[in-house]
Structures are given as C-alpha cells and as structure tokens.
C-alpha cells in the first residue's frame, strides 16, 4: 500500500491518497473541523435549470473539482469531468454541437454519456476515448448529480413533487463555511428555534427514519416577527423530510392562517468546509391570485431573511462529537447515527468507526503506515486513543491538530455513542407540555360590527399610523351592507361611512364573519386564504391594521 500526503490546495485543507494493491485510487478529503469526509454520498444540486440554457457550457466547482455542465440543443442537461482525454484541455472552454460537447483544443466530440463520438481529423476513434460523465437528474428546476466515493450507482431516485396548485419556483443560492451534515442537523435542533427563528414553542410530533430518508414533524407556536408582526402568534406544523444530506424538503403549514409553503434546501459541498445552499420555495395557491402573489412574496422575504440567520453560527461553530445535550434538545444523536450511512465507513467494523478506507476493502484498517514522523506520531496517538477508549484530555488538542495535518484523525465514537447522546430526550421539553398548543384570543368582545366601528377613532393608535398615508375601506355584506372607511394621514384618522372614492385597501366579507374575526374566532389570514373574505390592496398594509386599530384594552361597548 502506498500512502502519500498531498500538498494542501488551500490553507488547512489536507487530503491523503491511499492506493490499494488492486483497485482505483481513493481520495478522502476531510477538514479539521469535521471528523467525517467532506463529501457524503447522495444527490446534490449543482445548478438551477434556468442557469443552463440550451447550447450553453458552464463550469461549476463542487466536491473539490471542476464539473463541466452543458445543455444539448435538444435540451438535455449533462455533466462531465473537465479533462479531455486527448491532450488534457479543459472541456469548460468547449462548445455544444447538437447533442455533444466539443473540446476547444482539437474539436473532439463527447456525448452526454462521455463517449467520444467524433474525432474530426482521424479515420478511427480511439477505443478508450471517453470522459467521465456524471449521473444527472434534472427535476423541478434543479440539476442534480449523483456523488459517490466509489462510482456506485445511485442508491435512490430524486423524489417527485406535486406542482399542481403551487406558485412558480423562487430561487436563491448562498455559500457558507460548513458541511451538509450541519444543515440537516438544524432540522432536529429544536432548541435553536426560539433564539434564532422566533419560535416560542416546539413539540416533536414524530421522527421517522427509513433508509436514506429521515422525516421530522414539529408542532410550533411561532411569532410573526419574520413578517414584521411580532405580536401575531401562529400555530405551525413543520414537516421536514431529508433525502440523504443533499435534499431537505420542508413543508410549512401555518394552521392558524390556512397558509402553506414549501422550501427545498439543497446543500452541496464545494470543497472541504465550504458548501453552497440552493434553495427553492413555492406557496400553495389560494382562491384569489392577487392574495396568493402577495403572500408568496411575504413568505419568500421572510424565508430568505430567517434562514440566513443560521449561517454565521454554522460558519463559526465547532462540531462536537460529545455535545452536552439537555431536555428540550431534539434527537441529535439519532440524526447523527442516520448520517453515517452516507460516508465511506469500513464494512469490517461493526460500529462503523473508521471513515478512511471503506470504499476499498483491500485498504481497510488503520492508516498506520503513514510516511513521515508527523503522521506516525499522530497515528500512534490515535492508536492509544483506541486502546484506552479515548484521548486523554491533555492530548486532545495535539491529536486534533496533527490528525488534521496528517489526514488522520481520532476515529469518531461508535454508532452506539450517537444513541447515547439522546439520553436527554427522556427529560422532555424545556417547558413542560402542560397545555396543548394554542393561539391566544383577544380579551375584548364586540356584540356587533357597529360597536367595532363606533370605537374605531378612539382605538386608533396614532403612533402606529405616524408613517401611514392610506384609506381603509370595509365592505361588509349583510342586511343592509355595512360600508365604512378610515382615512389615515400621518397619524391622523378621519372616519366615514359609505364608499370612499379611492381606497388603498378594501376588506370585503360578510358582516357575520367580520364579527367572528374581530372577536378572535376567525383568523383574518385564514378568511382571505380560503376565499371567505376578499382583500383588495397590499397585504402588507392589511397586516398593519391590527396595530392601527387595536382591539384589546378598550371598552368595546359590548
């Protein structure tokens, strides 16, 4: 066996090459921050579909290497390695011709399978003329490639999604100093939801793991802080399914408001310690297309702002093998155990403890013949750790540092240790679940819609309306119809009955439903999302009405 330390391509990133007596070379890049390989097996997004036009060639960098994407003239998305087998030109400089990519140097043509199909000047195509083609699946506006350490065929398919009745894709791509496993861990990290995402309460409804999928359903009480309505409390069901570590499908049902949104979050490793996150969102359509469009925008703005709040934390945190968990934390150990299947662990190890040589059984075992004194010192320390069940605390920083330098590290704890992490689950949530999740209702009750409008000017909050210049119109169907309006001009209100000539926003619904709404028995957003009420005008302005015309704390005359 040959063991060589490679020069770092970037600071603090080392990789080593094991060459087994038989079989291909296997490189296992790892970063000192994480005791597992940088590139887990699975499907990963490498581009949005709209980024790759017909006839376009585009080079992207993922898994520490250039991947040349091209879309044929018939529209098939394809991905190949960068090096032309002829004389080594970068295929990213090539062009699409028909259903092939042609090399920029001598014009050899390769089809979507990587097979050379034309050498323009030669009578015969060399038998081995091919470039490695990645397995590609383009779905739902995303170009996926399958990554595995050992060229294994895809272990599962990219899941199908229902698009009937959903708004068009909205997309964004971020880059973060992290690892895909860290993104997924966020879905089971229940206790970060309050400080980071305005969730005031979390109950785990279910956790299921089946093969490459893991599904977590959470019941939440979330404030409307992300949509500038901090006083609003919503009952939310968050249903998240992971398909490997490259696909997270999150379905959010705001039960109180009858709204549904879906986010697809796709972390893809760029290199060790750096990932791209491709995100796509859709909103469930509602009877009123204008209302749908506005809610879609509000959800999107909230998602983009809220999701990114994790990034500085992920970028600076340390991955602890033995985190100190407490009651209220989620099933983090269970998640970590599930993640192990996506790495190259040795088949010979019952506990799956060694990430180094799993894809090459011939090379399995400790990399204990490391060349050079630095590596052998690190290896001996790792061996000691194995014998004595852990590294003495005094040596831990040394082994961690040397392990990173030599491409060797102390093996992660066995899978059973992941399960032991979850002992805290028996302690229950942070706040005892004494009462079922519920949204508070206003204390004040109105006997009639007329009573609501009789006190409107008195209840008007001039500070909340200081920056507002708008006309609010109510059209409440009954016998007879109730028509009211309120002109709000920079903190001053002028109320009237009838129809205003130029309302900024109009609320239309039955008088009976409006009475239910102001008494907290019908959620306003739900009324509009189900078509029970109609809103003409900007939803963002409607969202301010509760603050402009507060209900609680006054004598409503009821």
Tell me which residues touch Fe ion (CB under 5 A).
Answer: 186, 310
Whole-angstrom distance, CA of residue 451 vs CA of residue 70: 66
Nearer to ligand FES, 89 or 405 (CB): 89
User: Closest distance between Fe ion and the C-beta of residue 186, in Å?
Assistant: 4
If one asks whether residue 105 binds ligand FES (CB under 6 A), the answer comes out as yes
Q: Find the binder of ligand FES among 58, 86, 95, 500 (CB under 6 A).
A: 86
Task: With residue 532 as reference, give the H or E element that holds it.
Answer: none
Report if residue 314 touches ligand FES, rule: CB under 6 A.
no
The least distance separating ligand FES from the CB of residue 47, rounded to whole angstroms, comes to 23
Which residue, chain included where needed, has tokens 């391509």?
A: 9
265 counts as binding ligand FES under rule CB under 6 A:
no
Contact flag: residue 170 with ligand FES (CB under 6 A): no
The nearest distance, CB 105 to ligand FES, in angstroms, is 4
Of 52-60, 99-107, 255-263, 383-391, the segment contacting ligand FES by CB under 6 A is: 99-107
Enumerate residues 6+ apart whose C-beta is below 8 A from 502.
Answer: 471
| Cis peptide leading into residue 78 (ω within 30°) | no
Q: Which stretch binds ligand FES (CB under 6 A): 100-108, 176-184, 244-252, 396-404?
A: 100-108
Chain centre to alpha carbon of residue 409? 29
Helix or strand run (H / E) with residue 119: none
Q: Residue ranges of the alpha helices (H) in 366-509?
A: 373-388, 396-406, 415-421, 449-454, 456-459
- Could you write out the DSSP letters of every residue in 68-113? EEEE-TT--EEEEESB-TTT--BGGG-EEETTEEE-TTT--EE-TT
The verdict on 103 binding ligand FES (CB under 6 A) reads: yes
- Please tell me whether residue 66 binds ligand FES under the rule CB under 6 A: no
Closer residue to ligand FES in complex, CB, 126/372: 126
Q: Which does 186 bind (CB under 5 to 8 A by kind): Fe ion, ligand FES, none?
A: Fe ion
389: left (phi over 0), alpha (psi -120 to 50) or beta: left
Tokens of 262: 């879906």
Tell me which residue of 431, 419, 267, 263 sits closest to 352, measured CA to CA: 419
Q: How far is the CB of 109 from ligand FES (least distance, A)?
A: 9
What's the CA gap between 275 and 267, in Å, rounded?
Answer: 6
87 binds ligand FES (CB under 6 A): yes
The dihedral formed by the CA atoms of 145, 146, 148 and 152, expressed in degrees to the nearest 10: -140
Nearer to Fe ion by C-beta: 125 or 313? 313
Q: Are 222 and 198 in contact (CB under 8 A)?
A: yes
Q: Which is nearer to ligand FES, 105 or 377 (CB)?
A: 105
CB of 91 to ligand FES, least distance (A): 7
- Please choose, from the candidates 191, 359, 158, 369, the residue with its C-alpha nearest in 3D space to the C-alpha of residue 266: 158
* Long-range contacts, 373-382 (Cβ 8 Å, 24+): 374/402, 374/405, 374/406, 375/3, 375/5, 375/406, 375/407, 375/408, 377/402, 378/402, 378/403, 378/405, 378/406, 378/408, 379/406, 379/408, 381/410, 382/408, 382/409, 382/410, 382/411
**Cβ proximity to Fe ion, 48 vs 311, nearer residue:** 311
Residues contacting residue 353 through CB under 8 Å, at least 6 positions apart: 345, 346, 411, 412, 413, 414, 415
CB of 59: closest distance to ligand FES in angstroms?
15
Tokens of 448: 């009639």
Tokens of 251: 């379905």
Find the binder of ligand FES among 27, 58, 95, 106 (CB under 6 A): 106
Q: How far is the CB of 24 from ligand FES (least distance, A)?
A: 23
In this complex, which beta carbon is closest to ligand FES, that of residue 88 or of residue 230? 88
Q: Report the residue number, 8 or 88, with the smaller CB distance to ligand FES.
A: 88
CB-based contacts of 420: which residues, under 8 Å, 6+ apart?
333
Which of Fe ion, ligand FES, none interacts with 89 (beta carbon under 5 to 8 A by kind)? ligand FES
**84 forms part of the interface with ligand FES (CB under 6 A):** yes
Among 83-91, 281-289, 335-343, 386-394, the segment contacting ligand FES (CB under 6 A):
83-91
328: closest CA among 203, 216, 484?
203
Binds 310: which of Fe ion, ligand FES, none (CB < 5-8 Å by kind): Fe ion
Q: Of 240 and 382, which CB lies nearer to Fe ion in the complex structure?
A: 240
| Partner from ligand FES, Fe ion, none contacting 86, C-beta within 5 to 8 A by type | ligand FES
Write down the least CB distance from residue 89 to ligand FES, Å: 4
From the list 98-106, 296-304, 399-407, 484-492, the region that binds ligand FES by CB under 6 A is 98-106
Strand, coil or helix: what is 223? strand
Stretch that binds ligand FES, among 31-39, 67-75, 101-109, 148-156 (CB under 6 A): 101-109
The nearer residue to Fe ion, 186 or 250, going by C-beta atoms, is 186
Residues 107 to 146 in contact with ligand FES, rule: CB under 6 A: 108
The answer to whether 80 contacts ligand FES (rule: CB under 6 A) is no
Q: How far is the CB of 310 from Fe ion (least distance, A)?
A: 4
Placement of tokens 């399995």 in the chain? 364
* List of residues contacting ligand FES (CB under 6 A): 84, 86-89, 103, 105-106, 108
């Amino acid at each position: 066996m040959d063991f060589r330390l490679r020069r770092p391509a970037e600071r603090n990133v080392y990789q080593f090459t094991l060459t087994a007596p038989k079989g291909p070379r296997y490189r296992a890049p790892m970063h000192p921050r994480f005791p597992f390989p940088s590139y887990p097996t699975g499907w990963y997004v490498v581009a949005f579909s709209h980024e790759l036009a017909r006839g376009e060639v585009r080079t992207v960098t993922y898994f520490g290497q250039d991947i040349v994407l091209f879309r044929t003239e018939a529209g098939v998305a394809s991905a190949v390695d960068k090096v032309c087998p002829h004389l080594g030109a970068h295929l990213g400089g090539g062009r699409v011709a028909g259903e092939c990519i042609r090399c920029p140097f001598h014009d050899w043509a390769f089809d979507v399978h990587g097979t050379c199909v034309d050498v323009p000047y030669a009578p015969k195509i060399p038998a081995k003329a091919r470039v490695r083609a990645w397995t590609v699946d383009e779905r739902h506006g995303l170009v996926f490639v399958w990554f595995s350490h050992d060229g294994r065929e895809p272990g599962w398919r990219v899941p199908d999604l229902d698009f009937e009745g959903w708004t068009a894709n909205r997309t964004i791509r971020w880059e973060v100093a992290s690892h895909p496993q860290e993104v997924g861990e966020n879905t089971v990290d229940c206790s970060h939801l309050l400080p980071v995402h305005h969730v005031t309460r979390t109950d785990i409804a279910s956790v299921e793991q089946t093969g490459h999928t893991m599904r977590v359903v959470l019941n939440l009480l979330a404030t409307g802080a992300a949509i500038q309505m901090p006083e609003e409390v919503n009952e939310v069901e968050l249903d998240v399914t992971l398909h490997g570590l490259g696909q997270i499908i999150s379905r959010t049902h705001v039960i109180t408001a009858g709204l549904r949104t879906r986010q697809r979050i796709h972390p893809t490793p760029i290199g060790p310690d750096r990932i791209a996150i491709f995100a796509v969102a859709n909103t469930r359509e509602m009877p009123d297309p204008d209302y749908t469009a506005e809610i879609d925008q509000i959800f999107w703005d909230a998602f983009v702002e809220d999701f990114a709040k994790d990034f500085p934390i992920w970028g600076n945190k340390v991955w602890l093998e033995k985190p100190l968990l407490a009651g209220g934390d989620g099933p983090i150990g269970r998640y970590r155990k599930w993640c192990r299947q996506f790495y190259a662990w040795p088949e010979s190890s019952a506990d799956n403890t060694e990430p180094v040589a799993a894809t090459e059984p011939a090379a399995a075992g400790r990399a204990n013949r490391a060349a050079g004194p630095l590596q052998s010192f690190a290896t001996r320390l790792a061996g000691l750790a194995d014998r004595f069940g852990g590294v003495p605390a005094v040596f831990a920083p040394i082994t961690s540092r040397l392990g990173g330098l030599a491409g060797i590290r102390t093996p992660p704890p066995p899978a059973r240790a992941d399960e032991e992490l979850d002992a805290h689950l028996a302690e229950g949530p942070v706040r005892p679940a004494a009462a079922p999740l519920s949204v508070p209702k206003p204390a004040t009750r109105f006997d009639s819609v007329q009573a609501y409008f009789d006190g409107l000017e008195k209840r008007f909050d001039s500070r909340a309306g200081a920056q507002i210049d708008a006309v609010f119109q109510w059209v409440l169907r009954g016998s007879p119809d109730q028509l009211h309006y309120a002109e709000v001009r920079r903190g001053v209100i002028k109320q009237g009955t009838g129809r205003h000539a130029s309302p900024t926003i109009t609320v239309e619904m039955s008088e009976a439903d409006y009475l239910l709404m102001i008494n907290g028995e019908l959620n306003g957003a739900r009324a509009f999302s189900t078509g029970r009420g109609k809103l003409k005008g900007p939803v963002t302005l409607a969202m301010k009405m509760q603050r402009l015309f507060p209900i609680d704390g006054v004598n409503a005359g009821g």
